[in-house]
Amino acid sequence: MAVYTEVSDDDLDQFVAEYDIGAVVSCKGIAEGVENTNYLLQTDRDTFILTLYEKRVNPAELPFFIGLMQHLAERGLACPTPIQGRDGVTLRTLCGRPAAIVSFLKGVWHRRITLNHCAELGPAMASMHLKGADFPLTRANNLSVSGWWSLFEAIRPRAHEIKDDLAEVIAAELDELERRWPTGLPVGLIHADLFPDNVFFLGERVSGIIDFYFACTDFMAYDIAICLNAWCFEPDGAFNATKARLMLNGYRRVRPLSADEVDALPLLARGAALRFLLTRSYDWLNTPPGALVKRHDPMEYYRKLRFHQGVGGPGEYGIV
C-alpha cells in the first residue's frame, strides 16, 4: 500500500456518495507497500479501505482481483470484501484512476515474526489455496520466469548503482532458473505477495489476509517459497529452520505436499528471492520523488538468493 494520487475532499465526497456506506468522517493515506494508492476511509457507519489502482496494475485484470476477493470471502476466508455501490458496481473511477472500496479487517501485522506466527501462517495459506481452487478465472504470473528477463533489462543499465556486479549475478541466475524451472507441479490460485504486512493477527491467531493484487495462477508451492523468504529469515539475515519447519508442517496438515513439490522448494525459493530482488531493484531505482511510499532494500533479497543457492536439499528448510 502507498499514496501516489492525492484525492481532494470534493472528489472523495462525490465518490463515496455513490455507495450506501455513510458520510466521510476521515480519510488518511497509508504509506506501507509499493503498488497502489490506499486510504483508510472512516465514515459515520464503518471503516473501509479505498484503493486507487496505479499504472503498474493492468485495468483489464482488475475484475480478476475483485472477483477473487469476493470468491474467497464467500467461502469463509477472512479477506477484504469489495463493497458494491448503489448501482451494484464495485469497480469505479476516481481522479482518473480505477478505484474500489473494500471492507476493513481488524488485526495487526507483526514486524517481529515469532515461531507461533509461522506456525499459524502455514494452515492459513493452505486454506486460502483450497478455497481458491474452484475460482473460475485464471491469471498468468507475469512476475515468474517468463517475465523476469524483461524486468531485468529495465534495471540492467543502472544495476551497478545498487551493487557493482549485480547485473552479472542476476543474468547468471536467470539462465540457471530458466533452464531448471520445474514443470508439472500442482497449480492453483496463489497470493504471490504473502509478506508479514499482508497477514493480520488478533492475539495468536491469523485474523485475515489482505492485498491480493499480485494473485495469479501458478504452482502453489511457489507461494510457500515466497513465504520461506519473507517469514523465515531473522533480522541479521540468518535463516531460521525452526520457523520454516513450523510453517511447512502447518501447511501440510491442511493441504499435503507431493514429493515433487518438496523436492522443488530450494529452486522455487531461489526463484522467489530473484523475483523480489528484481522488483525491489526496479522500485529502488524508479520510485518518483515525493511519493509517500517506503522503498525496500533490494540487497536483502540479494543475500537471500545467495543463501538459497547454497541449499543442498529441502531438509535444510526443516522439512522431512
Closest residue by Cα to residue 53 from 66, 41, 44, 43: 66
Cβ within 8 Å of residue 253, ≥6 positions away: 122, 123, 126
What integer pLDDT is reported at residue 319 of this predicted model?
A: 84
- What pLDDT, on the 0 to 100 scale, is given for residue 295? 77
Contacts of 115 (CB under 8 A, 6+ apart): 242, 243, 246
Grid coordinates representing 75? Answer: 467461502
CATH topology of domain 9-103: Phosphorylase Kinase; domain 1 (3.30.200)
Domain boundaries, the chain: 9-103, 115-317
Query: According to the 3-state scheme, what is the secondary structure of 179-204?
Result: HHCCCCCCEEEECCCCCHHHEEEECC
> The whole model's pTM is what?
0.91
What is the per-residue pLDDT across 219-270, written as a single tens digit (0 to 9) for each? 999 999 999 999 999 999 999 999 999 999 999 999 999 999 999 999 999 9
Q: Domain 115-317 classified CATH 3.40.50.10680? A: no
Task: Please report, as a single letter, which amino acid is at residue 111.
Answer: R
Which of 50, 173, 60 has the alpha carbon at shortest distance from 100?
50
Helices and strands (DSSP H and E) totals, the chain = 9, 9
pLDDT reported for residue 1: 43
Residues 85, 18 contacting (CB under 8 angstroms): yes
> Residue 291: its pLDDT value, please?
58
Q: What is the mean pLDDT of each run of 10 residues along the chain (320 residues)?
A: 80 97 94 77 97 84 95 96 96 95 95 97 98 96 93 96 97 97 97 97 95 95 98 96 97 97 98 97 83 79 98 90
